[in-house]
Structure 1
Amino acid sequence: MQTWSVCTSENAATNRDMHAAEPPKLQDILEYLSAFFHGMDVKLFTNPFQWRKWDKYTGTVLKTPDTERRIGLMTPGQELFGIRCRASPDGVSPMQVNLDDILDALADNIPPDAHSVMILLDMDMYEGDGDIFTAGRAYGGSRIAAVSLFRDHPLCAPRDDGHAWPASHCAAYIDQLCHQASHPSTKQTKRQPPPSQRRDSGGPLHVAIEAATHGECKMPSSEAPTAQWLGRVVVTMAHELCHCLGLDHCTYFACAMQGCGSVDEAQRQPPYVCPVCLEKLCTAIGEGVVDGWEDEGVRDGFVRERYEALRRVCGRWDASVSRMFAGYKAWLDAVMERSYEQVVIVIDG
């Protein structure tokens, strides 16, 4: 089954330099999620799940997605689940495993001291027969989630066109995407923002864009592919774990909790949660673990501590390594600076 996690797309054949990308380190993932879910312990599940053969099938790559087999997944409780598997319909991965079967195996193995449990796979996943792939899914009420590393591998993911978050907020780029969606048969030329375009120099998003594009003139670091991979994966993992805390998809603002239909779209979404979802997330955690949560000052302090924890994690990568982490760090800096600004009104008696 080792070949199941090897990208077989055309992009993989023409970008051999990306083969050297190391998978994200578990410690980096844990540190990011610990900061994102500040106030909760994020731990590595030490009791492993292990792949086993099912009947006589041992993992031979199938030729068509129309044929399904089952591969065994042994749980820590020594129960063997039959996981459906098939060839990838788009040829990007050799084989895919069925998401629903994975979650069924996970449901009976939530540690007694855990709120939720997530399994992270290095192979591709699918959900229904009509799906091409599924990057992640959570059954929030059951407190279980699964995420795949596979589609975010630098060899599998779409090439960055320079407009991944935070540059996805470029007005000309958004106009271009909207035009392509409404006129799919029209040949589109690359559009540039007009020279006189107004620039907002005061907001956190503008600061994030400036920080993310600051390193564009530098040679990309050898760490960049892995950092890019890490950034995409942790945002997906945080999204799915938020579902386990009761958050639904966001329909209010640009937010990490927005629904997503493709890897391209995922690259354009922010890593932060909007004010509405931030309130939901912090309340879901803080009400149970923070003394005096009813006090507004305590709640504000908790949010600042969370931002500070995220800022420390994101500060480990500059723009030559990860534009997402560099932009997120700058965004956090600007948001925290604003939170410290106080307006004092003096009324003479």
Structure 2
Amino acid sequence: MTNPDAKDACKHTSLYLDVSPHASKAGFKRPNKRQRISAATQEGRVLKEIELLTCKELVEDEMAFPGPLVLPGDDLAEDPESPPQDFNEWRDEEERNPVTQERKTIYIVSSPLIEKSLSKMQAWSVCSSRNSAKKQDTEAVSPPDIRDIVEYLSAFFYGMDVKIFKQPFHWQKWDSYEGAVLKSSNTEKRIGLRTPSEELFGIRCRASPDGVSPMQVNLNDVLDALAENIPSDAHSIMILLDQDMYEGDGDIFCAGRAYGGSRIAAVSKFRDQPLCAPRDNGHAWPSSHCAAYIKQLCHLESYTTKPQPVRRKHNSGPLHAAIKATSGTVRHESSVPSEAPTAQWLGRIAITMAHELCHCLGLDHCVYFACAMQGCGSVEEAQRQPPYVCPVCLEKLCAAIGEGVVYGWSDEARSMAIREKYVRDRYEALRRVCERWGNPSVSRMFAGYRAWLDVVIERSL
């Protein structure tokens, strides 16, 4: 789809702040307001005096934390009975690995270096998408700097140490296969992954079923190699691959996977590169709640009954501020700043990496609100989801870190003041990162997130 001029862009005059009309058709029933508040509490129920990290005014404000969209093809539409995980279920999870002073570091492993024996593998990270035919689209875009990714994750997991894993992994030949692109996804070959400890793992690979990537690597095999190289001070370790990934034979692709009990995760930046990612038609987050857009995706004329949507003129609140900060920024490609494709790529990868690392902290997928911890069924759905975590997931995330490394977190006499300060400091750290990329012509996500944070921080004081 060609991007319209700003003057022709959707004005987003009405929003869906609860689930879309498709949710009931899919069989998804969102937990009600009382259940959502209860899910965030340590008591597991609503009391007269509730102490949450998100003020009650914001928890109940749908312009701060709207519901999940649940559009056709979305993860919750395909799995509407996905079980919710409240705070107590998270806390009691036996396989959850606690953050401690001795194990509070997240390590990020750069994509393995390709040795000369496997030089044909260089082509695997080049998108084969047919969506872009213009010369400017086919020119290489600089991938995000891993230091910028570490900066974002350091703010998101405020209080933990996020470091680049210094010892490189290497791709090399496993047998006679030299990395030529295979003709069929039904054929599997193996390449070698040499770890810093000089162990060599055989990694399955295949051609991608949808033809978007030349070849894919099997993420389970990669994670096996990663599991053997966890530093003693690591809480978790993640490898960021240039190549496309798949998990099982029936998968088209997999953008990321984490095994929390094993403290290992893998994310591919392949599908988030500008050539592969869907073009921004003005309805990526924060404008994904636009009623006109949702009606179009839900094909409302196909419904025999018309659900009553929660629609409002958006004139206040964090979501309103985010939309206002990014409105009128959908333009022709010729007017996009040169750094914009890289910044947009950075935003998409950073959110995926944060999501998977939250799994390493024991968080399951969220069903309570639109949230960075929702499950994701497609690249398109990923672009519609917010970068923030909802009030329920914020309780889990902050408790996971706070109980381990924040002095005084469990001190009954002053714990609430310490916890509130931690949340404000975390939000401020995220806002500083967003300010770097806060020009909406460069990144609508970062610009919208910054505006959302501005209002949330102000209302939390």
* Aligned residues of 1:124 and 1:151 also touching (Cα < 8 A): yes
Give 1:10 deviation, angstroms: 0.5
- Over 3 Å counting, the alpha-carbon distance change for 1:252 and 1:70 in structure 2 is same
2:446 corresponds to: 325
- In the TM superposition, residue 175 of structure 1 has moved relative to its aligned partner by 1.9
CA distance in 2, matches of 1:172, 1:215: 18
1:181 CA drift (Å): 11
Instruction: Name which of structure 1's ranges 207-216 and 82-91 shifts more when overlaid on structure 2.
Output: 207-216
* Separation in structure 1 between the aligned mates of residue 160 and residue 126 of structure 2, nearest angstrom: 34
Deviation at 1:217, TM superposition (A): 6.5
CA deviation string 1:76-97 (max 9, x = no partner): 1100000000011111111000
Please name the residue that 1:211 is paired with.
325
Give 1:152 shift. Answer: 0.4
Match of 1:200 in 2: 314
Post-superposition shift, 1:312? 0.2
Residue of 305, 326, 332 corresponding to 2:425: 305
Q: Which moved more, 1:218-227 or 1:86-95?
A: 218-227
1:255 aligns with one of 357, 367, 371: 371
> Which of 385, 394, 407 is the equivalent residue of 1:269?
385
Structure with larger RCO (C-alpha < 8 A, sep 6+) = 2
CA distance in 1, matches of 2:241, 2:179: 16
- Counterpart CA distance in 2 for 1:103 and 1:212 is 38
Whole-Å Cα distance in 1 between the matches of residues 337 and 149 of structure 2?
20
- For structure 1, the 5+ residue unaligned runs are 184-196, 341-349
Q: Which one of the candidate residues 285, 309, 315 is aligned to 2:401?
A: 285
Q: Give the CA deviation at 1:16.
A: 3.4
Cα distance in 2 for residues equivalent to 1:27 and 1:242: 20
Q: How far does residue 155 in structure 1 lie from its aligned partner after superposition?
A: 0.2
Q: Counterpart of 2:460?
A: 339
Q: Distance in 2 between matches of 1:240 and 1:181?
A: 37
- After superposition, the C-alpha distances for 1:165-195 in whole angstroms (9 at most, x for unaligned) are 0000111211222227967xxxxxxxxxxxx
Quote the residue 1:136 is aligned against: 256
Change (3 A) 1:37 1:60: same
Identity percentage over the alignment?
74
Give the Cα–Cα distance (whole angstroms) in 2 for the partners of residues 23 and 276 of structure 1. Answer: 33
**Mapped partners of 2:328, 2:455: distance in 1:** 16
- Distance, in Å, in 2 between the alignment partners of 1:275 and 1:37 is 16
Report the Cα distance in structure 1 between the residues aligned to 2:460 and 2:184, rounded to whole angstroms: 55
> Does the aligned pair in 1 maintain the 2:143–2:342 contact within 8 Å?
yes
Amino acid at match of 2:248: G
Structure 1 position 287, deviation (Å): 0.5
Q: CA deviation at 1:8?
A: 0.9
Aligned to 2:286: 166
Looking at structure 2, the residues matched to 247 and 180 of structure 1 have their Cα atoms a distance apart, in angstroms, of 34
333, 338, 344: which one aligns with 1:222: 338
Distance in structure 2 (CA, Å) of the matches to 1:206 and 1:74 = 49
Q: Indicate whether 1:40 and 2:160 are aligned.
A: yes
d(CA) in 2 for partners of 1:121, 1:144: 14
| Cα RMSD (Å) | 1.6
User: Once superposed, which parts of structure 1, at least 4 consecutive aligned residues long, lie more than 4 Å away?
Assistant: 180-183
Distance in 1 of aligned mates of 2:408 and 2:122: 50
Taking the aligned partners of 2:328 and 2:263, their CA distance within structure 1 comes to: 40
For the residues of structure 1 that align with 2:403 and 2:369, how far apart are their CA atoms?
A: 24
Whether the aligned pair in 2 keeps the contact of 1:214 and 1:319 (CA below 8 Å) is no
Give the equivalent residue in structure 2 for 1:186: none
Q: CA separation in 1, counterparts of 2:427 and 2:302? A: 39
* 1:259-306: CA deviation from partner (whole Å, max 9, x where unpaired): 000000000000000000001000000101011102101000000000
* Conserved? CA contact 1:4–1:93, under 8 Å: yes
Q: 3-state SS of the aligned residue for 1:117?
A: strand
**How far apart are the structure 2 equivalents of 1:19 and 1:149?**
17
Letter in 2 for 1:327: G
- Secondary structure of the equivalent of 2:271? helix
Task: Answer whether contact 1:19 1:155 (CA < 8 A) is retained.
Answer: no
1:67 maps to a residue whose letter is T
Distance between the aligned counterparts of 1:181 and 1:133, measured in 2? 32
- Per the alignment, residue 147 of structure 1 pairs with 267
C-alpha distance in 1 between matches for 2:328 and 2:297:
25
CA offsets per residue over residues 203-224 of structure 1, 9 Å max, x none?
1001000001254479321111
> Residue deviations 1:61-107, cap 9 Å, x none?
11110100000000111000000000111111110000110111111
Please point out which of 396, 419, 434 is paired with 1:314.
Answer: 434
Alpha-carbon distance, 1:14 to partner? 3.9
In structure 2, what is the Cα distance between the partners aligned to 1:9 and 1:214? 28
Q: 2:344 & 2:407 partners in 1: Cα distance?
A: 37
CA distance in 1, matches of 2:330, 2:182: 42
- What is the aligned partner in structure 2 of residue 188 from structure 1? none
- Which residue in the other structure is 1:7 paired with? 127
SS in 1 for 2:238: strand
SS of the residue corresponding to residue 73 of structure 1 reads strand
Answer whether contact 2:128 2:212 (CA < 8 A) is retained: yes
Superposed displacement of residue 239, structure 1: 0.1
Q: 1:255 to 1:177 in 2, by over 3 A?
A: same
Question: What letter corresponds to residue 5 of structure 1 in structure 2?
Answer: S
Tell me which residue corresponds to 1:240.
356
CA distance in 2, matches of 1:122, 1:180: 39
Amino acid at match of 2:283: H
Change (3 A) 1:333 1:18: farther
CA contact (8 A) 1:138 1:240 kept: yes
Contact 2:137–2:275 (8 Å) recurs in 1: no
Residue 68 of structure 2 corresponds to none
SS of residue in 1 equivalent to 2:296: helix
Q: Are 1:72 and 1:83, in contact at CA under 8 Å, matched by a contact in 2?
A: yes
Unaligned runs of 5+ in 2: 1-120, 304-310
Greater shift, 50-59 or 9-18, is seen at: 9-18
Deviation, 1:17, is: 3.2
Report the Cα distance in structure 2 between the residues aligned to 1:87 and 1:44, rounded to whole angstroms: 30
**Helix, strand or coil at the partner of 1:64:** coil
